[in-house]
Chains A and B, each alone.
Chain A
Amino acid sequence: MAYVAIADRDTHLHDPQTFVTKYIWSQDHKVIAIQYSLIAIGVGLVALVLSGMMRLQLGFPDTFSFITPNNYLQFITMHGMIMVIYLLTALFLGGFGNYLIPLMVGARDMVFPYMNMLSVWVYLLAVLVLLASYFVPGGPTGAGWTLYPPQAILPGTAGASWGIILMLVSLAIFIVAFTMGGLNYVCTVLQARCRGMTLMRMPLSIWGIFMATILGLLAFPALLVSAIMMILDSLIGTSFFMPAIVSMGEQLAYEGGSPILFQHLFWFFGHPEVYIVALPAFGIVSDLLSVHARKNIFGYRMMVWAILAIGGLSFVVWAHHMYVSGMNPYFGFFFATTTLIIAVPTAIKVYNWVLTLWHGDIHLRVPMLFAIGFIFTFIHGGLTGLFLGNVTVDLPLSDTYFVVGHFHMVMGVSPILVVFGAIYHWFPKITGKMYNETLGKWHFWLTFLGTYSIYLPMHYLGILGVPRRYFALGETEFIPDSAHIANESITISALIVAVVQILFIINMVWSTWRGQKADPNPWGATTLEWQTPDTPPKHGNWGPKLPEVYRWAYDFSVPGAARDFIPQNEPLDPKIAPGRDHGVHA
């Protein structure tokens, strides 16, 4: 290939001098990653507080006069949207994607650093527009995170005039920010790897982030399209989604629009979105398990192919969210089938994680605890997904707490556990300091057990038929007293889990300033980010010379090797026979 690796052409690397260009208008991917993460975690804390308020209302109805039905619906909406998009998507791709991609593939920076910088500031703008909806007449929208019309823009729904518009505009801005970042992630992975880093030598973290970015780039437009049409329906009175409708005794000017059309567009985005969040978590957790079990990941190629297969299939299952909206039975059959098919590559990944642990030299450090916790919660949520994937089982369970339990296990708790594991894992590299292990373990156990005590009972509530998105259950025959007790207990657990997160914040802040100095490669990891000349890595990452890669990312416990890991940039030692002869490689 006559092409000069662009990572070698340093010309585009700007040299930041002042405080402002170093830490604020910075084009350095590591600084941008931290900016993304801090904004995401900040707005995530808002969403956490909102969930606490929802739980207060559900656990102790008629107790808090400041929570009205409208408030409650606004909390639900903002909570869901922030968690899914402004926290998890931004944190995994903007945060981890930015930090890890150039370091793990051996580049000096992203390929379009200026656009990367714009991305984070546009993201901040999206967050501000979203939060601004708290200060407009009517407050934020209470339409639910799915924003279904017609109710989303009809009077009677909270925020139907201002709130919903700000929400849609904020989403549109977010999509612009994401696209700018996403172009960077994809092009850096494809074009800026260092010498010797073939695609199949990339760590799985990069594969997960890469595929999730592609999903995002292709799926977010669906949200943008629906946002544009809904804005027009609301402001100009077009009838893309709005049917002829009588609202509060008044015939509105809309005619003939299709709310179902919105649902198709929304879920065409919405289902890939769950994998936008899940795939980076899959990738990262694979690396955490492998490093802390001192074993190569089981079935690397299968893991890569599974990521690709899940990515492709996630575009043909969206209507499993619409079984109750009414559709041709053959469509239901089709989507149930694809939904069950997508479970196959997912299950393969789960088996491979478990088999990676098998006969591993497991070190139960904090990141590993979170990674193993993830396997539990993910299996749990995945299994309930299989229930819901079948039309006949889904019909009675749809819109109940069973669905809430399912998606919180699978896309709430599981990715968040990986986020925590990943932050603990890379903390020594990012800050150069070590976190406090004891605090970290307390944080893990309280969070892990706490989330189980929150979400397991929800499955039971759902099977009883307790509907989701209800402000209060009132007096109903099919809801026994035990359900109310369960609700109280869930609320108490939720409040405890929320408060426990303070341990994490204290640990991070305190360790950043006061923590012990960390070893450059404390876990004995093989991937490139642990082999940088400086810790934390300096601008340009690699000092004068780019790394060269001589092996895949999983050379752990190779027989005959001096240490139980061999970094990717260590040349082949002819004395240590590589390959499958010694049986550790799968």
Chain B
Amino acid sequence: MSTTVLFVLVLAGVVGWWLFARQLTGRPWELAQRKLDDSHEGATLAVSPARTGLWVLLAVISSFFALFMSAYGMRMMLDDWRPLAEPSLLWGNTLILVLSSIAFQWTRVAARRGDRPAVQTGLIVTGFFTFAFLAGQVLAWRQLSASGQYLHSNVANAFFFLLTGLHGLHLLGGLAAWARTMLRLMQAGTALGQARQSVELCATYWHYLLLVWLVLFGMLLAT
């Protein structure tokens, strides 16, 4: 649980410090404060609601994975734990996921330039790498099953299948957003339209899932 507690404390610390430094010390009933407050525009952060929503969602997903890692850490200590030898294919998959993240970043830069053809190419390349990653993960599963390492053989295996599977599911969710972005791009004709914001948000999500994967992969390798 300490992983999770740490995560929550860091999160609370950052948010709390930030809020305190800025807004939580005012005395709203005093005249001086009142003058300041009257000119406040209303929003707390200078970002769009969609981006705020994305960051909050990422906090939720982080809590989810941090809890799994806590559970992993606690379960690992018990006697029946038999470490799993991770298939070396995972290194290749990791590389592909890194590439997909790079491709998305490139797309994002193109979107900021307003370069529609580049955005389209970028999205297709990203999609390709992402599907390749998922296929690679499935292949890794099959390699394990072929060597007699099933989900229920040992709890280390169970964690492995579960964590990779859940990470993959989150990526699939991202692909749904990716598909919607493609659709928006088609609808927008020659301009970028709403696809621009979608690209921005999806790119953040991809980088985030890459980070999650690196942490998970590191943990799986180290144990």
Contact = CB atoms under 8 A, between A and B. Distances in A.
Query: Is the A/B pair a real complex?
Result: yes
A221 B60 contact: yes
B43 A236 contact: no
B34 A190 contact: no
B218 interface: no
B155 A193 contact: no
B52 A187 contact: yes
Contacts of B60: 179, 182, 217-218, 221
Contacts of A420: none
B67 A222 contact: yes
B41 A240 contact: no
A284 interface: no
Main secondary structure of the interface of B (DSSP, over half): helix
Given A2-B46, A195-B42, A111 B53 contact: yes
Contact of B5 (A261, A315, A579, A580): A315
A25 interface: no
B11 A218 contact: yes
A317 to B, nearest CB: 11
Interface string B59-71: 1100110011011
B28 A300 contact: yes
A434 interface: no
Nearest to B22: A199
Contacts of B48: 6, 191
Interface stretch (A122-130, A140-148, A251-259, A356-364): A251-259
A224 B64 contact: yes
Interface in A193-247: 193-201, 217-219, 221-222, 224-225, 228-229, 232, 236-240
Contacts of A265: 67, 70-71
Contacts of B39: 196
Given A229-B71, A305-B24, A238 B42 contact: no
Contact of A193 (B8, B27, B43): B43
Interface in B125-157: 151-152, 155
Among A232, A552, A572, the one with the most B-chain Cβ atoms within 10 Å of its Cβ is A552
B59 A239 contact: no
A225 B64 contact: yes
A585 interface: yes
A578 B31 contact: yes
Nearest to A202: B28
Contact of A191 (B5, B49, B158): B49
A112 B67 contact: no
Contacts of A192: 42-43, 49
B49 A6 contact: yes
A1 interface: yes
Interface in A267-321: 268, 296, 300-301, 304-305, 308, 311-312, 315-316
Interface in B1-60: 1, 4-5, 8-9, 11-12, 16, 19, 23-31, 34, 37-49, 52-53, 56-57, 59-60
B78 interface: yes
B95 interface: no
B80 A256 contact: yes
A240 B30 CA distance: 56
A160 interface: no
A256 B77 CA distance: 11
Interface in B55-103: 56-57, 59-60, 63-64, 67-68, 70-71, 74-75, 78-81
Contacts of B80: 239, 255-256
B42 A193 contact: yes
A261 B40 contact: no
B124 to A, nearest CB: 28
B79 A256 contact: yes
Nearest to A584: B29
Contact of A199 (B16, B31, B44): B44
Given A201-B37, A268-B1, A5 B42 contact: yes
A179 B54 CA distance: 12
B29 to A, nearest CB: 4
A300 B34 CA distance: 15
Among B27, B30, B56, B78, the one with the most A-chain Cβ atoms within 10 Å of its Cβ is B56
Nearest to B12: A312
A544 B79 CA distance: 68
A552 B67 CA distance: 39
A112 B49 contact: yes
A308 B19 CA distance: 11
Contacts of B41: 1, 3, 5, 195
Interface residues of A, number: 70
Among A187, A201, A257, A554, the one with the most B-chain Cβ atoms within 10 Å of its Cβ is A187
Contacts of B176: none
Given A111-B53, A218-B59, A191 B75 contact: no
Nearest to A558: B29
Contact of A221 (B11, B16, B64): B64
Contacts of B43: 1, 3, 5-6, 190-193
Contact of A198 (B40, B47, B63): B40
B56 A1 contact: no
A551 interface: yes
B28 A238 contact: no
Contacts of B188: none
Interface string A164-204: 00000000000000010011001100111111111111000
Contacts of B68: 225
A192 B49 CA distance: 8
A195 B40 CA distance: 6
B31 A579 contact: yes
Contacts of A195: 40-42
A217 B44 contact: no
A555 B30 CA distance: 12
Contacts of A304: 24
A200 B23 CA distance: 7
A468 interface: no
A302 B48 CA distance: 31
Nearest to B155: A239
Given A221-B64, A221-B67, A112 B53 contact: yes
Contacts of B49: 6, 111-112, 187, 191-192
Among A111, A194, A238, the one with the most B-chain Cβ atoms within 10 Å of its Cβ is A238
Contacts of B162: 228-229, 232
List 6 tightest A-B contacts by C-beta distance, closest first: A256-B80, A552-B28, A221-B64, A111-B49, A238-B158, A585-B29
Given A183-B53, A572-B34, 17 more contacts: A187-B53, A193-B44, A198-B28, A201-B37, A225-B68, A232-B162, A236-B158, A239-B158, A240-B71, A240-B155, A256-B80, A256-B81, A261-B71, A300-B28, A551-B28, A579-B30, A580-B29
15 contacts: A5-B43, A6-B48, A182-B56, A192-B43, A198-B26, A199-B44, A200-B24, A221-B67, A236-B151, A237-B152, A257-B78, A304-B24, A550-B34, A572-B38, A579-B30
